[in-house]
A and B are shown apart, each in its own frame.
Chain A
Amino acid sequence: MRYGSILFPLGEANFPLLLAGQFVVALVQPFFLNIVSKISGEWFPEKEREIATVLASLAQIIGNAAGQVVPSVVVGCSNVNATPCPLDEIENMDWLLLGQAVFATFLAVRALARDYGAVPSRFRSADVCLCVVV
């Protein structure tokens, strides 16, 4: 949706489409911010939980830092003297959105494609089954 907002000339609808894409991405943010303790508690033994929590929490900070730096580097104006930059001379905004979309899709596929076995550490390994609740 975000890449489509810059790819297709939709007139006034381009920005709402971009905003809608942001909202879709935002839906998973509560999950990422709050699931840290769940991951460290379920998957890691007690002595490793601190390092797991630190690493997992670090992701948001690094993402924020990258989000501040990378767009500034990637997106630019072909005419450095123009302030503000004219519409026709803005470069690489589409590549930024495309890169984000491709990378996120790759990660999602990578995460979903692998069989993790759904094994929590809190319980024994074998207490799992192919289970359907009707």
Chain B
Amino acid sequence: MSTKAAYDADVVMYPPEEEEERAKHDALLYLNGTPSSSITELSEPNLGADADADGSDDFFAEDEVKVYCNRWHILFIYFLLSTTNAFVWISFAPIADFTATLYNVTTDGVTWLSLSFLVVYTPGAFDLLLLLSCTYAAFAVHCTAVAVILLDAFIAVVVRFSSARRVPSSFCACSCSVCCATTLGAILASVVLIKYGLRICVVIGSITMVRRPAAGCMQCHVMSRRRVQSVIERRQTLRVRVVGDDEHGDDRRTTHGVVFVILRPASNVPLLHVYDVLVLARP
């Protein structure tokens, strides 16, 4: 078995005269078997020069970039969201005196409204590693836990020494509760993720639609039915691809082996063009 096993399943738009015949072939797409046997059937129409047995095809070719018009819309939405985030971050600083009067706290307390972003950022930056790359999952989890615990200790000390003079007692109690809860949460998350790290990472990655081609991760993309239909209507190839990591031997391959189950064709789309595709990680 190769270092990286790639299983491809292609659903292709065929000319009308071939559709009738291909509809019979459709039955082959209802799969329940092992990845190797099932995917061979699926890959038959378009595998050809695109992929080879090693998974070292040009699927990952870096120089082949397809861009979409909506990338500017994505950037615009990100721009507005990021601007709003920064706006909220600093918005109490120029009106600290009004805020202090309105909420009956000192300006030191108002400072915490801005400082909260920096407090969250330190562990949050490591959490982001978990979302962006499974490769650094363990590192990210441990760093997050350590950062949270240190920050909690820092906050507890600050609150303790300022509570006697300025900070309301409810704020002190709330802060201590949050510190205890997040510390326990960090320790628990660290312990859990040590054991189930990769699997949880994969799930998180699938939820956030972050692509992680790194070794040890299952590559998973999410696309709506409308998008699937759009791809096929434009006579593009719909490709279902899962990359499993085999470098750790049979056990790992078994753990992260995959089964394609193509559920059913969409009812409002003729013949075999659109499918619900469910990719299962075999336990």
Find out whether the CB atom of A108 lies under 8 angstroms from the CB atom of B81.
yes
Q: How large is the interface on A (under 10, 10 to 19, 20 to 34, 35 or more residues)?
A: 35 or more
Find out whether the CB atom of A38 lies under 8 angstroms from the CB atom of B132.
yes
Q: Indicate whether A129 sits within 8 Å of B221 (C-beta atoms), given known contacts A43-B74, A122-B62.
A: yes
Q: Indicate whether A115 sits within 8 Å of B81 (C-beta atoms), given known contacts A67-B87, A122-B65.
A: no
User: Smallest Cβ distance from B39 to chain A, in angstroms?
Assistant: 13
The number of residue pairs between A and B whose CB atoms lie closer than 8 Å in the complex comes to 283
Q: Indicate whether A128 sits within 8 Å of B103 (C-beta atoms), given known contacts A26-B121, A43-B75, A108-B81.
A: no
Find out whether the CB atom of B94 lies under 8 angstroms from the CB atom of A110.
no
The interface residues of chain B lying within 8 Å CB-to-CB of A124 are 59, 64, 66, 239
Find out whether the CB atom of B78 lies under 8 angstroms from the CB atom of A131.
no
Q: How does the 8 Å CB contact mask read for B195-228 relative to A, with 1 for contact and 0 for none? A: 0000000110010010100000010111111111
User: Smallest Cβ distance from A85 to chain B, in angstroms?
Assistant: 6
Q: Indicate whether A59 sits within 8 Å of B83 (C-beta atoms), given known contacts A12-B169, A29-B120.
A: yes
The interface residues of chain B lying within 8 Å CB-to-CB of A84 are 97, 101
Contact for A117 among B93, B127, B223, CB less than 8 A: B223
* B95: interface (CB < 8 Å): yes
* B153: interface (CB < 8 Å): no
Q: Count of B residues near A, CB < 8 Å?
A: 88
Find out whether the CB atom of B277 lies under 8 angstroms from the CB atom of A131.
yes
Identity of the chain A residue whose Cβ is nearest the Cβ of B261 in the assembled complex: A132
Contact for B279 among A16, A75, A87, A133, CB less than 8 A: A133
Find out whether the CB atom of A118 lies under 8 angstroms from the CB atom of B241.
no
Residues of B within 8 A of A (CB): 59-60, 62, 64-68, 70-71, 73-75, 77-95, 97-99, 101-105, 109, 112-113, 116-117, 119-121, 124-125, 127-128, 131-132, 168-171, 174, 202-203, 206, 209, 211, 218, 220-228, 230-231, 236-241, 276-281
Residues of A within 8 A of B (CB): 2, 5-6, 11-16, 18-20, 22-23, 25-35, 38-39, 42-46, 48, 52, 55-56, 58-64, 66-72, 75, 77, 84-87, 90, 93, 96, 100, 103-104, 107-108, 110-111, 114-134
